């Protein structure tokens, strides 16, 4: 078995951040493989008031405030939204309940003496998110903690949320699976920051059982967190919106320039999140740890591009891509040297791509329709009726082509399913 040497305090202090992160990663693997149990569960419950007191002092010295909308006691798993900056510290203080912190990519913390000391006092389960074995170890450690009566605080989004109009990003499934495996209770927690003021909103308990489907539970958890976020937003005073669509700053400004201005604003907003705690990562680091999958919903696409004006531009680009794919099919048919079987297979693959794009186009368009009247002046090339007609024309052409190859089109909830039969 691979040997591991524990470093002294002076040896760890001399290490670089990368070396320190690697050392602790090796230590976690070594202790897990050798059956070393988590230490200090009972002790940390006893010293938890000291940790909260230190965090309260830190908040006072930082001249920040924390308001609780709701308070819940004795949770097993706190599932929290993640906005960056000092959100973790503020949630810990606001909840005032002992729990181990599930801490991803902790290397910078090891060089931050104050934060590291508080983490040791509170108790953490740490992992390098890009290390598959370390991720597995952290999951098993969390299961061990929960089954031995410890509580866990986790941030299921897995990254700071850099999207201003998306209350909660997609959640990793680990939180739901941990809860089901250990019959845990999930306490959803949302946090938002307004300058130096934090607002924390705690939801009702989500009770789990071993026969529960983790995917369903994950959806329920995300919906609940989003509702808690909206409740926070609704506590803020309403902002009066000027008629900027017809006057003021948009006079004489083209759609392209408006979109560029919006992108600049979005980038500044996202960068401001990083600046809250730049020593803990960059915007690229945040993007790399966000959950990515191959089934974005229409709402997520609109949220990710930040505004409905750009959503109209997205529709135009996708319709152009669809047209290009139809032309590609026609060119393939005109190529007499291409074998029929090979031609059929390639055309079917292209049609599947077209079908998926049209499914997304239709759903985004249906979301845009209720508010499109206020955006029509931005959409110089297409009114609502014309845009609907353009989409219908592509759908009709798709159905004709799909019928040639007996491809049956089944729209489903936020996803396209195709049934392909050979003729």
Task: In the chain, count H helices and then E strands.
Answer: 15, 10
Among candidate residues 204, 233, 262, the one where a domain is terminated: 233
Among candidate residues 207, 233, 259, the one where a domain is terminated: 233
Q: Is the pLDDT of residue 420 over 50?
A: no
What's the pLDDT band for 413 if we cut at 50, 70, 90?
very low
What's the pLDDT band for 414 if we cut at 50, 70, 90?
very low
E strands, 26-117, in order: 65-68, 77-80, 100-104
Do 327 and 217 reside in the same domain of the chain? no
| Residues spanned by the domain of 329 | 298-420
Label the pairing between strands 100-104 and 124-127: parallel
Do 65 and 142 reside in the same domain of the chain? yes
Among candidate residues 178, 210, 233, the one where a domain is terminated: 233
Average pLDDT, rounded, for the chain = 80
pLDDT digits (tens, 9 = 90+) for 192-202: 988 889 999 99
Of 158-167, 252-261, 302-311, 371-380, give the range with the top mean pLDDT.
158-167
Give the total number of structural domains in the chain.
Answer: 2
User: Is residue 266 in a domain?
Assistant: no
Helical ranges in 148-254 per DSSP H: 174-182, 214-233
The closest alpha carbon to 315, from 367, 250, 245, belongs to 367
Q: Look-up: residue for tokens 């007609």?
A: 389
User: Is residue 110 in a domain?
Assistant: yes
The neighbour count for residue 312, using CB atoms within 10 Å, is 23
Residue 180 has what pLDDT? 95
The contacts found for 335-340 with CB under 8 angstroms, 24 or more apart, are: none
Label the pairing between strands 65-68 and 197-202: parallel
pLDDT digits (tens, 9 = 90+) for 14-38: 999 999 999 999 999 999 999 999 9
Cβ-proximal residues to 233 (8 Å cutoff; 6+ apart), any chain: 167, 192
CA dihedral over 304, 310, 312, 318, signed as positive or negative:
negative
């Amino acid at each position: 078995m691979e040997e591991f040497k524990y470093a002294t305090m002076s040896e760890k202090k001399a290490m670089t951040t990368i070396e320190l992160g690697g050392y602790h990663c090796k230590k976690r693997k070594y202790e897990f493989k050798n059956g070393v149990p988590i230490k200090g569960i009972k002790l940390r419950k006893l010293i938890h008031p000291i940790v909260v007191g230190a965090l309260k002092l830190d908040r006072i010295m930082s001249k920040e405030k924390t308001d609780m909308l709701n308070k819940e006691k004795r949770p097993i798993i706190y599932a929290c939204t993640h906005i960056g900056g000092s959100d973790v510290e503020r949630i810990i203080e606001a909840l005032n309940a002992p729990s181990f912190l599930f801490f991803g990519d902790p290397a910078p913390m090891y060089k931050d003496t104050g934060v590291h000391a508080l983490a040791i006092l509170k108790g953490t389960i740490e992992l390098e998110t890009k290390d598959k074995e370390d991720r597995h170890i952290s999951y098993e450690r969390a299961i061990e903690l929960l089954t031995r009566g410890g509580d866990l605080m986790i941030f299921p989004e897995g990254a700071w949320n850099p999207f201003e109009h998306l209350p909660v990003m997609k959640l990793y499934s680990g939180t739901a699976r941990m809860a089901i495996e250990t019959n845990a209770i999930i306490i959803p927690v949302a946090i938002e920051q307004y300058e130096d003021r934090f607002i924390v909103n705690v939801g009702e308990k989500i009770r789990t059982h071993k026969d529960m489907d983790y995917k369903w539970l994950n959806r329920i958890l995300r919906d609940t967190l989003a509702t808690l976020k909206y409740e926070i937003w609704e506590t803020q005073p309403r902002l009066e919106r000027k008629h900027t669509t017809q006057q003021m700053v948009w006079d004489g400004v083209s759609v392209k320039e408006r979109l560029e201005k919006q992108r600049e604003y979005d980038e500044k907003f996202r960068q401001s999140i990083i600046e809250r705690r730049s020593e803990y990562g960059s915007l690229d680091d945040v993007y790399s740890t966000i959950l990515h999958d191959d089934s974005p919903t229409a709402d997520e696409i609109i949220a990710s591009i930040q505004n409905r004006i750009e959503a109209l531009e997205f529709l135009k680009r996708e319709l152009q891509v669809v047209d290009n794919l139809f032309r590609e099919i026609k060119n393939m048919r005109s190529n007499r040297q291409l074998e029929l079987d090979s031609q059929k297979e390639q055309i079917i693959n292209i049609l599947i791509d077209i079908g998926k794009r049209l499914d997304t186009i239709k759903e985004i368009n249906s979301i845009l329709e209720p508010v499109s009247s206020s955006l029509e002046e931005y959409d110089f090339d297409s009114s609502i009726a014309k845009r609907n007609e353009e989409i219908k024309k592509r759908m009709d052409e798709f159905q004709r082509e799909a019928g040639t190859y007996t491809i049956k089109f089944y729209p489903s909830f936020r996803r396209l399913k195709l049934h392909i039969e050979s003729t």
